[in-house]
């Protein structure tokens, strides 16, 4: 019954899209007042999409295996929490979530933009409805989450065990709020460009939506990174996996856009940057959807492999890009005269310089993600682009970027002069000496790491000083830059000081190194709701006699029949102790991986600080 209601609700939602488009076109020139009927239709469209989404959730909760999506991704023994999260842990359900967020954002936008011009609101609505209709058709024709199976199976195939995790249950909805939020920025920018409405007031209005998308995307990426760290058992937080890159690229574009909006608020400049970045951000979000849904990318995140779906998204994306380029070329009036009037030493110029750096980082990530696909198509060669590629191309440019990021906020708008030269020099010398002191006795690339750590410390000290000197003025900006400096320092120290031991041990055996001893005490087996747990007990004895107990776990799931490795992590403010174990096939010993990961918790804290800075900016009064 829930599936039937959900299926018909999708069709009703599509009909209301047609009504919205019809009445919006009719109301565009007819009156100076926004037609209230349009608002009612938007609400009804949103209501039916919500009804459809909850229909799918109920189907999962009730284990309705007459629904093909439920059959493919659920099982009666699965805990209720993972039955609910399984709703969007698959291709069809995740796209229904996309549609849910699309309709939510346009409904909120129309409610929250009453002070804006009527034509601008209607045109934004029309562009957004083009995207919504495209997703309605995509869902109903190629990815219907309510397909019926007959005869009805007694049992489902189950959900991928690595998706059965609390962090991954909330990661997709939050990430999608960031992804799909870019659609409102895209639609409103096209509307404003078409009407020549781009102004300082418009920049203030659209900045809220840019911030909302940026905050959700930042938190979504953080949750995905935390999940990858403890669930995949690789002991890392970022692997340059193609789907990780797909989420990072819109974040970089959004960050650039946010800085350009700040300039546009102060003086009518960088309008071309704002339009291009608004289009690019949404395009990158859609490209991510295309690459993941088509099955082109091979990744731990990929759960759809259907060329027909990929082809639909590709054609739809090309249509949206063509429409965007047409509007940009034929309707945009460039403010080039004002753009050229930037003084070389000013806050505007520093934002522009940092944008060029971020554009370079974005280009590197885009090439590294897409190049293997094109190479395979052209020459049938399969290659993977990993950390060495990104490190060699990004790290050298990260150094001047961090210095520019430290100096830029201390410059004035329009025109600035070098002030506090002595203080800037003192902070540089302190940063350099501290870096030399830390890295002197380490077997690392000394020169590059010294300069990199120096630049990160320099940004850290300058932003820390700004908190007190500026007496918490521009708090959101200072906090975001401070969080970023802390993130870079934490990542650097995490990479430089990490240690890892990989060994094979039987129960009762001991592994000894110069710094610690690992004792494999025993294993314990327990039956859980939908898996069998095999938990190891390991004593880690340090030189000073301290003993830490770690309990890594193997889980043997019943449906699907998969074995997963669950890490045990002991966390404090200085380091994480991380251990996984895997059974070696046809042997009576286990493969043990023990890692000490310094400053791990500070990586998560720094990203939370960056997100919190966005929240402060969103809620502060003008």
User: 7-37, pLDDT tens digit by residue?
Assistant: 999 999 999 999 999 999 988 887 778 888 8
**What is the tally of helices (H) and strands (E) in the chain?**
18, 10
**Residue whose C-alpha is closest to residue 12's, from 51, 39, 50, 48:** 48
Would you kindly state where each structural domain of the chain is located, as residue ranges?
A: 1-164, 165-405, 406-497, 499-600
Q: Is the pLDDT of residue 305 over 60?
A: no
Q: What are phi and psi of 45, to 5 degrees?
A: -60, -50
**Residue whose C-alpha is closest to residue 464's, from 515, 430, 498, 509:** 430
CB-based contacts of 423: which residues, under 8 Å, 6+ apart? 465
Q: How far apart are the C-alpha atoms of 365 and 242, rounded to whole Å?
A: 9
Weakest mean pLDDT among 146-160, 249-263, 272-286: 146-160
DSSP state string for 324-361:
HHHHHHHH----HHHHTT--SSSHHHHHHHHHHHHHHH
Q: At what angle do helices 307-331 and 271-293 cross, to 10 degrees?
A: 170
For residue 475, the tally of other CB atoms under 10 A from its CB is 16
Q: How far apart are the C-alpha atoms of 565 and 83, rounded to whole Å?
A: 21
Structure letter (DSSP) for residue 528: -
pLDDT on residue 420: 61
For residue 52, give both structure tokens. 């459809």
pLDDT on residue 547: 87
Sheet containing 590-598, strands listed edge to edge, beginning at the edge strand earlier in sequence = 499-505, 590-598, 575-583, 568-571
Question: Which tens digits make up the pLDDT trace of 465-483?
Answer: 888 887 677 888 899 999 9
pLDDT band at 344 (very low <50, low <70, confident <90, very high): low
In the predicted model, what is the mean pLDDT of residues 512-529? 87
Three-state secondary structure call for residue 511: strand
Contact of 102 with 128, CB cutoff 8 Å: yes
- Alpha-carbon distances of 367 from 242, 376, 589, rounded to whole Å: 11, 14, 42
């Amino acid at each position: 019954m829930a599936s039937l209601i959900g299926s018909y609700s999708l069709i009703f939602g599509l009909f209301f899209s047609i009504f919205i488009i019809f009445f919006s076109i009719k109301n565009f020139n007819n009156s100076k007042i926004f037609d209230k009927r349009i608002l009612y239709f938007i609400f009804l469209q949103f209501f039916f999409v919500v009804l459809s989404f909850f229909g799918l959730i109920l189907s999962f909760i009730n284990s309705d295996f007459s629904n093909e999506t439920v059959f493919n991704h659920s099982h009666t023994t699965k805990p209720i929490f993972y039955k609910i999260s399984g709703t969007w842990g698959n291709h069809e359900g995740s796209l229904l979530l996309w549609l849910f967020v699309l309709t939510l954002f346009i409904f909120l936008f129309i409610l929250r933009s009453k002070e804006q011009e009527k034509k601008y609101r209607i045109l934004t609505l029309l562009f957004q409805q083009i995207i919504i209709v495209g997703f309605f058709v995509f869902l109903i024709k190629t990815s219907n989450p309510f397909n019926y199976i007959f005869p009805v199976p007694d049992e489902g195939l189950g959900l991928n065990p690595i998706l059965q995790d609390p962090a991954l249950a909330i990661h997709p909805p939050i990430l999608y709020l960031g992804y799909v939020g870019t659609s409102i920025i895209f639609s409103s920018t096209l509307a404003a460009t078409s009407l020549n409405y781009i102004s300082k007031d418009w920049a203030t209005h659209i900045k809220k939506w840019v911030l909302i998308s940026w905050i959700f995307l930042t938190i979504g990426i953080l949750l995905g990174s935390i999940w990858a760290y403890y669930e995949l058992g690789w002991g890392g937080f970022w692997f340059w996996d193609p789907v990780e890159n797909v989420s990072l690229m819109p974040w970089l574009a959004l960050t650039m856009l946010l800085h350009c909006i700040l300039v546009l608020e102060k003086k009518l400049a960088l309008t071309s940057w704002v339009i291009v970045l608004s289009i690019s951000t949404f395009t990158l979000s859609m490209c991510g959807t295309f690459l993941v849904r088509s099955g082109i990318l091979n990744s731990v995140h990929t759960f759809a492999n259907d060329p027909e779906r990929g082809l639909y998204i590709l054609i739809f994306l090309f249509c949206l890009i063509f429409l965007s380029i047409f509007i940009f070329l034929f309707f945009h009036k460039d403010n080039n005269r004002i753009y050229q009037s930037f003084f070389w030493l000013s806050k505007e110029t520093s934002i522009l310089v940092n944008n060029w750096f971020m554009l370079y980082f974005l280009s590197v990530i885009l090439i590294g993600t897409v190049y293997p696909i094109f190479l395979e198509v052209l020459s049938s060669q399969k290659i993977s682009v990993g950390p060495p590629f990104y490190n060699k191309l990004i790290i050298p440019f990260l150094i001047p970027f961090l210095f520019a990021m430290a100096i830029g906020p201390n410059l004035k708008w329009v025109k600035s002069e070098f002030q506090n030269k002595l203080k800037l020099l003192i902070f540089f010398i302190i940063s350099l000496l501290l870096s030399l002191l830390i890295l002197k006795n380490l077997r690392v690339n000394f020169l590059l790491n010294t300069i990199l750590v120096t630049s990160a410390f320099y940004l850290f000290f300058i932003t820390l000083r700004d908190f007190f000197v500026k007496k918490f003025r521009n708090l959101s900006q200072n906090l975001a830059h401070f969080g970023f400096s802390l993130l870079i320092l934490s990542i650097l120290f995490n990479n430089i000081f990490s240690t890892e031991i990989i060994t094979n041990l039987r129960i009762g055996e001991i592994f000894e190194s110069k710094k610690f001893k690992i004792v494999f005490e025993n294993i314990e087996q327990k039956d859980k709701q939908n898996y069998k747990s095999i938990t190891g007990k390991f004593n880690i004895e340090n030189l000073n006699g301290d003993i830490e107990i770690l309990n890594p776990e193997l889980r043997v799931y019943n449906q699907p029949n998969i074995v997963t490795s669950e890490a045990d992590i002991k966390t404090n403010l200085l380091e994480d102790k991380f251990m996984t174990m895997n059974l070696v096939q046809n042997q009576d010993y286990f493969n043990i991986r023990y890692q000490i990961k310094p400053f791990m918790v500070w990586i998560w804290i720094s990203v939370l600080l960056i997100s919190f800075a966005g929240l402060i900016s969103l809620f502060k009064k003008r």
